[in-house]
Amino acid sequence: MNFILKEGLEKKKVTVFLSNVSAEEALDILTSIKDVSYRRIKESNNYIVEPKPKGP
């Protein structure tokens, strides 16, 4: 599994301990506690993690 971090996220650190969860479940938890979103690149094991878009 590979995570590609968009610019500006290099210094945001999170430590979580999870067991028996899928990658998507773990990423959903991460997005609920940090101001980030993610998307999977097609059917690969690669995910792009990026800041959530700012609202109007």
Query: What pLDDT does 32 receive?
Result: 84
Query: What pLDDT does 41 receive?
Result: 92
What global pTM score does this model have?
A: 0.67
Summarize pLDDT for 4-55 with one digit per residue, the tens.
Answer: 778 777 676 777 788 898 888 888 888 888 888 888 999 888 888 888 877 6
Enumerate the domain spans of the chain.
2-51
Per-residue pLDDT band for 56 (boundaries 50, 70, 90) equals low
Give the CA-trace dihedral at 18, 35, 1, 15, to 10 degrees.
-40
Query: What pLDDT does 50 receive?
Result: 87
